[in-house]
């Protein structure tokens, strides 16, 4: 067995995908969830544990465990192999046939980030890191928390000399985003200098970027973040997600804060479901990432005007992806990390539990923005709120909230109905979706599932099925003939062998057959043999009907000899 087959056979696809997608058990061997590859509000993503494959019936994403990791992490085949091997303690063979220039470049950039994180952490403990340590103490970040989050300090020129001594090429150095090229001399200098450093991780926990907080008031940029690189796309990454995803699953909610310090302070207080955007405004892709782990989110941005504006923008994005949104407002004008430091994690958690609905928070914003003493101002306030109200999933809930908010703003109920009718008319666009494949007949479905999951059933049934002409007429006929060919070549074939062999037009039929059979793992050979007997019986009925027709045709044409011969054959077929 080669290494790829060995690795896949030692992994449970449900466990691997379950680290990225919230899955629910649908049957003995099948799990479902929201697809991580397209936006949807009803789960059409199916993971089959027995056959070790996934399939989305919405966007047609499909494949095995390696394909999933490649797509979700946006890495090459070799990198997916390496990641899964390292994560599961399996030694990789020293072979490079899966590598390519892009993979080698990303590997070099990963190595440079690992070196940078180690150097920054060492700097923080040195004499040069005194200002950074003082800032952390001022913000209430303990040494243990700094160690847990990998905080560090960037000096001047350290990385430039280290990378050059390590032999990294000019292409690798420039692509890393950690160094900048001098325009005059052609050499390099460190991008981050005299800053408190925050490592940013991928969902699997690899360091892929940094955020740096200025320690010198003269610096123009208070925060400086890594640029986009071959291993980092900031619109896709949430800070602290690799630590927080277990907490999000357990509490069935995500707490969304603005910055690195907020996330660190809240997490250190014991509220472990907290994430932050990486120094940018929240993006649709980041919202989709949250939604993969929970459909509930509490937004707790800073209480200043900039934080309120950011929360307002974020609400629209969160609602567009179907998340249930609440807003947490902290008293005393405190940021999340300040609140946790002063009042403790229990007080913060109590506030979380009492966080209110987003529409009343927005209504308060509207009352500040518009002149509520005039009819025009009240109407403008309601129209400001209308898009967010339309983001609610249920029609009855939308109307109830709209009437509630209208009453809060002093708006006539008739205006509510008028705006709802207008918005509904503007939304009347039909979204075309690919038609689902026709359901597979139960007899075909049972036989396919049984032949795929039970080697003993193959031995008993393949020869008999092969002899039935009706099999070729099935909608699944090409699938059966591929099964027969695989059986001839290797009786111990697995699902991946069949999936790879099929024509593209047969994949939807096969996946529908496996998806529809809820109890495939419980199928017995006796059930398969019963299906086989039914097919043989139907085959005999077809043959008898054909013979009866031919007998009548021979009699009408006066060919008595042929009619008698056919009658004898019909008699034998009827026994």
Residue 425 pLDDT: 63
Nearest-angstrom CA–CA distance, 159 and 157 = 6
Q: To which CATH superfamily is domain 3-87 assigned?
A: Zinc finger, CHC2-typedomain (3.90.580.10)
C-alpha to C-alpha distances, 325 to 67, 294, 390, nearest whole angstrom: 33, 11, 13
Residue 404 has pLDDT above 90, yes or no: no
Residue 435 pLDDT: 47
Which of 85-89, 262-266, 423-427 has the largest mean confidence? 262-266
Which two tokens mark 55? 């399939």
Q: Which pLDDT band, with edges at 50, 70 and 90, does 438 fall under?
A: low
CATH ID of 236-354, from 3.40.50.970, 3.40.50.720, 1.10.600.10, 3.40.1360.10: 3.40.1360.10
Instruction: Find the helix packing angle between 101-125 and 77-87, rounded to 10°.
Output: 40
Residue 394 pLDDT: 65
Residue 205 pLDDT: 92
Residue 519 has pLDDT above 60, yes or no: no
Where in the chain are the domains? 3-87, 101-230, 236-354, 374-426, 442-571
Same topology between domain 236-354 and domain 442-571: no
- Fold held by 101-230: DNA primase DNAg catalytic core, N-terminal domain (3.90.980)
The percentage of the chain sitting over the pLDDT mark of 90, rounded to a whole number, equals 38
Residue 517 has pLDDT above 60, yes or no: no
Model pLDDT for residues 500-513, shown as the tens digit of each residue: 888 888 888 888 77
Number of H helices, E strands in the chain: 26, 17
Mean pLDDT across the stretch 35-59?
A: 87
Model pLDDT for residues 263-298, shown as the tens digit of each residue: 999 999 999 999 998 767 899 999 999 999 999 999
Q: pLDDT: is 239 or 388 the higher one?
A: 239
Residue 561 pLDDT: 80
Residue 426 pLDDT: 61
Model pLDDT for residues 98-114, shown as the tens digit of each residue: 567 888 899 999 999 99
Q: What is the DSSP string of 375-408?
A: HHHHHHHHHHHHHHHHTSS-HHHHHHHHHHHHHH
Residue 568 has pLDDT above 90, yes or no: no
The percentage of the chain sitting over the pLDDT mark of 70, rounded to a whole number, equals 92
Mean pLDDT across the stretch 171-192?
A: 89
User: Is it true that domain 442-571 has CATH number 3.90.1150.10?
Assistant: no
Mean pLDDT across the stretch 505-524?
A: 72
Residue 521 pLDDT: 57
Residue 17 pLDDT: 94
Which two tokens mark 34? 């929201």
Residues 6+ apart with CB under 8 A from 535: 443, 465, 468, 470, 471
Nearest-angstrom CA–CA distance, 264 and 307 = 18
Q: pLDDT: is 260 or 412 the higher one?
A: 260
Q: Which pLDDT band, with edges at 50, 70 and 90, does 429 fall under?
A: very low
Residue 437 pLDDT: 53
Residue 433 pLDDT: 46
Q: How far apart are the first and last CA of the chain?
A: 50
Q: Which pLDDT band, with edges at 50, 70 and 90, does 575 fall under?
A: low
Q: Which pLDDT band, with edges at 50, 70 and 90, does 472 fall under?
A: confident
Residue 430 pLDDT: 40
Long-range pairs, 254-257, Cβ under 8 A, ≥24: 254/290, 254/293, 254/294, 254/296, 254/297, 254/298, 255/297, 255/298, 255/300, 255/328, 255/352, 256/282, 256/290, 256/297, 256/298, 256/299, 256/300, 256/301, 256/314, 257/300, 257/301, 257/336
Comparing 112-121, 318-327, 393-402, 480-489, the range with the smallest average pLDDT is 393-402
Model pLDDT for residues 198-227, shown as the tens digit of each residue: 999 999 899 999 999 999 877 778 899 999
Residue 231 pLDDT: 95
The pLDDT mean for the chain works out to 85
Model pLDDT for residues 361-382, shown as the tens digit of each residue: 888 888 888 888 888 888 888 8
Q: Which pLDDT band, with edges at 50, 70 and 90, does 534 fall under?
A: confident
């Amino acid at each position: 067995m080669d290494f790829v087959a060995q690795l896949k056979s030692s992994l449970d696809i449900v466990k691997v995908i379950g680290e990225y997608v919230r899955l629910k058990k649908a049957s003995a061997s099948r799990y479902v969830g929201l697809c991580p590859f397209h936006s949807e509000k009803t789960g059409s993503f199916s993971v089959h544990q027995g056959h070790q494959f996934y399939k989305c019936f919405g966007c047609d994403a499909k494949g095995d465990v390696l394909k999933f990791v490649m797509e979700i992490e946006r890495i090459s085949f070799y990198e997916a192999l390496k990641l899964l091997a390292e994560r599961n303690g399996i030694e990789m063979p020293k072979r490079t046939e899966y590598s390519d220039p892009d993979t080698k470049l990303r590997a070099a950039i990963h190595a440079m980030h690992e070196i940078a994180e180690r150097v920054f952490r060492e700097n923080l403990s040195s004499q040069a890191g005194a200002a950074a340590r003082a800032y952390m103490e001022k913000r209430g970040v303990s040494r243990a928390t700094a160690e847990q989050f990998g905080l560090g300090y960037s000096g001047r020129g350290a990385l430039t000399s280290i990378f050059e001594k390590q032999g990294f090429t000019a292409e690798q150095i420039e692509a890393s985003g950690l160094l900048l090229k001098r325009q005059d001399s052609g050499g390099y200098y460190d991008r981050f200098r005299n800053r408190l450093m925050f490592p940013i991780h991928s969902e699997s926990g690899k360091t892929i970027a940094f955020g740096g907080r200025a320690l010198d008031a003269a610096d123009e940029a208070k925060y400086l973040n890594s640029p986009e690189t071959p291993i980092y796309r900031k619109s896709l990454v949430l800070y602290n997600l690799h630590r927080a995803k277990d907490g999000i699953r357990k509490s069935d909610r995500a707490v969304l804060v603005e910055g690195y310090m907020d996330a660190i302070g809240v997490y250190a207080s014991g509220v472990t479901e907290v994430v932050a955007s990486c120094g940018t405004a929240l993006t649709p892709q980041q919202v989709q990432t949250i939604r993969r782990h929970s459909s509930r989110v509490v937004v707790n941005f800073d209480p200043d005007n900039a934080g309120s504006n950011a929360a307002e923008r974020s609400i629209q994005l969160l609602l567009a992806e179907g998340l249930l949104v609440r807003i947490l407002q902290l008293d005393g004008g405190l940021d999340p990390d300040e609140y946790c430091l002063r009042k403790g994690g229990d007080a913060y958690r109590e506030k979380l539990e009492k966080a209110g609905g987003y529409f009343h928070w927005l209504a308060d914003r509207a009352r500040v923005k518009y002149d509520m003493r005039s009819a025009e101002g009240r109407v403008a306030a309601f129209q400001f709120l209308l898009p967010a109200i339309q983001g609610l999933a249920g029609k009855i809930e939308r109307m109830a909230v709209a009437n509630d908010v209208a009453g809060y703003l002093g708006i006539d109920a008739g205006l509510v109905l008028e705006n709802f009718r207008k918005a509904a008319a503007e939304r009347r666009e039909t979204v075309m979706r690919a038609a689902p494949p026709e359901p597979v007949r139960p007899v075909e479905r049972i036989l396919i599932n049984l032949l795929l999951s039970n080697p003993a059933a193959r031995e008993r049934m393949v020869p008999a099925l092969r002899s039935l002409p009706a099999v070729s007429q099935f909608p699944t006929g090409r699938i059966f003939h591929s099964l027969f060919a695989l059986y001839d070549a290797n009786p111990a074939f697995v699902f991946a062998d069949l999936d790879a062999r099929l024509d593209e037009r047969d994949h939807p039929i096969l996946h529908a057959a496996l998806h529809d059979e809820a109890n495939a793992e419980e199928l017995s050979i006796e059930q398969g043999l019963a299906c086989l007997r039914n097919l043989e019986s139907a085959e005999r009925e077809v043959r008898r009907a054909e013979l009866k027709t031919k007998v009548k045709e021979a009699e009408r044409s006066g060919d008595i000899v042929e009619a008698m011969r056919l009658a004898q054959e019909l008699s034998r077929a009827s026994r």
